[in-house]
Structure formats: C-alpha cells, structure tokens
Amino acid sequence: MNLNQALIAKELTCVRGDTELFRNLSFEISPGSILQITGGNGSGKSSLLRILCGLLSPQDGQVLWGQNPIHDDRDYFHSQLLYLGHQPALKGDLTAIENLISQAALSGIALSTQEAKKIILDLNLQGVSGRPIRTLSQGQKQRVGLAKLLIRPKKMIWILDEPLNALDQATSEAIETMLLRHASENGIIVFSSHLPLALATQYSQYRTIDLNAKP
C-alpha cells in the first residue's frame, strides 16, 4: 500500500432534484484512518459515498486520490477501491460460495473454493453456504456481501454504505474487528452508519462527520 496517498474531498456540493444535500464539504482521509458518515435519512450519506467512489458527480468540488482527481486515472483508482453499497450486489440464484468466487473474479482475483469456504466459515455462514442467495435472510445476505472484505489481496480503500445493517451483535463486533485491522494495516475506511461503534473510542485515527450538522 502507498502510505503517502490520501483520499481528499474538496469543497463538495451535492444536489439531488431540487434539494441541496450538502455544500462545500471538505475533508482528508489518510492511510490508517477511519471516517464514519452519519446523518438522518435523506441527508446525503449514500450520495457522498458514491461521489467518493466516482459513481456520482458532485454539483461542485472534486475528489482527489493523492494529488490527482480520481477521474484522471479511473482504472488505477478503482483497482485500489472496494465499494459495498447499501444493498449487497449478489446473484440470487448462486450460493454464497459461488457469489464470493464470482465477485473475486470481477476484481481479477482467482479465489479457490477452499479459500471461499474459509471466508464463509469466518463469517459463520457455513450452515447456509450451499443455499441460493435468494433464500437467505437479509442479515445473511449482508454477511455474504461483507465477505468481500476478507478477500486477499485487500483493496486499500474501503467505502461501505451501512455495513452493519441487519446484523446481529456478534457479527457486528466481528465486522468492527475487521475494520480496525484494515485501518491498522494502513488502509482507508469511509463508512456510513447511524449506529455508535465501540472502535470510535478504541482507535485514535477515527472521526465522524454528521451531514445534518450545518456550518
């Protein structure tokens, strides 16, 4: 991982329809840092994450990776990025293991069946690993989606939209441990959540931006 690269939001303004969600929002996330985005429904959390990924254009401002706008070398930036949206991007007719292998292949990673089974085991999904995704509960689907976090080699930047949604306490704690480990290995994490996290007081390079807080 390049220890000198930071993800920088520079004076971002986002407008959806006739509504301005946020204006002149600036921050910098260095390697080893965790940023939690909070705010009520409709405050622009998901829009901000999509802007940081380059999936949505801001009304004004830009996102930089290091010194360069992320669109200058989109392929390189996306090679460093793992984005998980609010709804897991899973194929309903495939099993958890098949989905994981397929998702890894999209990132150019050859994941073996044994490696996929190990990841599924780590997330306590072995009991449903052979069932089609469409038959799983929302919490189980969420865990399958989060399994991408355990695929190696890891992406440097994790941008996660409500990763703790529909999870039980034990799984939420396991995900927090994964976030902490990634940040401690000089990863960058930006995630949205309305939930307070224990690691907010455990990790010094952790901060929060509330999109409902007006300047």
Answer whether residue 3 shows pLDDT above 70.
no
User: Please, are residues 18 and 62 in contact by the beta-carbon 8 Å criterion?
Assistant: no
Count of positions (residues) in the chain: 215
HSE of 72, CA atoms in CB hemisphere, 13 A? 9
pTM for the full predicted model: 0.92
Would you place residue 4 in the very low, low, confident or very high pLDDT band (cuts 50, 70, 90)? low
- Per the domain annotation, does 175 fall within a domain? yes
| Domain final position from 102, 135, 154 | 154
Domain total for the chain?
2
- Per the domain annotation, does 86 fall within a domain? no
Helices (H), the chain: 45-53, 74-79, 96-106, 113-122, 138-146, 169-184, 199-202
33 plus 69 within the same structural domain: yes
| Domain final position from 138, 154, 170 | 154
Average pLDDT for residues 141-157, to the nearest whole number?
90
User: Please, are residues 50 and 58 in contact by the beta-carbon 8 Å criterion?
Assistant: no
- Per the domain annotation, does 130 fall within a domain? yes
67 plus 95 within the same structural domain: no
- Per the domain annotation, does 181 fall within a domain? yes
What would the pLDDT profile of 44-53 be if each residue is shown by its tens digit?
999 999 999 9
Would you place residue 215 in the very low, low, confident or very high pLDDT band (cuts 50, 70, 90)? low
23 plus 112 within the same structural domain: no
What would the pLDDT profile of 159-186 be if each residue is shown by its tens digit?
999 999 888 888 899 899 999 999 999 9
User: Nearest Cα to 81, choosing from 111, 59, 50, 110?
Assistant: 50
Average pLDDT of the chain is 91
75 plus 103 within the same structural domain: no
Give residues with Cβ within 8 angstroms of 16, minimum separation 6.
Answer: 44, 47
pLDDT at 87: 81
In a 10 Å sphere around its CB, with 0-12 CB exposed, 13-18 middle and 19+ buried, how is residue 215 labelled?
A: exposed
4 plus 21 within the same structural domain: yes
What would the pLDDT profile of 96-117 be if each residue is shown by its tens digit?
999 999 989 988 889 999 999 9
Determine the structural domain holding residue 112 and report its residue range: 91-154
Q: Which of 113-117, 122-126, 203-207 has the lowest mean pLDDT?
A: 122-126
Average pLDDT for residues 81-104, to the nearest whole number?
92
96 plus 60 within the same structural domain: no
- Per the domain annotation, does 122 fall within a domain? yes
111 plus 45 within the same structural domain: no
- Report which listed range, 23-32, 114-123, 188-197, is most confident: 23-32
118 plus 168 within the same structural domain: no
Q: d(Cα 162, Cα 43) in Å, to the nearest integer?
A: 14
| Domain final position from 132, 154, 176 | 154
62 plus 105 within the same structural domain: no
| CATH number of the domain that residue 45 is part of | 3.40.50.300
Would you place residue 1 in the very low, low, confident or very high pLDDT band (cuts 50, 70, 90)? very low
User: Please, are residues 142 and 167 in contact by the beta-carbon 8 Å criterion?
Assistant: yes
What percent of the chain is modeled with pLDDT above 90?
A: 69
- Per the domain annotation, does 205 fall within a domain? yes
Query: What crossing angle do the helices spanning 138-146 and 169-184 adopt, rounded to 10°?
Result: 10
2 plus 73 within the same structural domain: yes
70 plus 113 within the same structural domain: no
- Per the domain annotation, does 85 fall within a domain? no
- Per the domain annotation, does 107 fall within a domain? yes
Would you place residue 194 in the very low, low, confident or very high pLDDT band (cuts 50, 70, 90)? confident
65 plus 168 within the same structural domain: yes
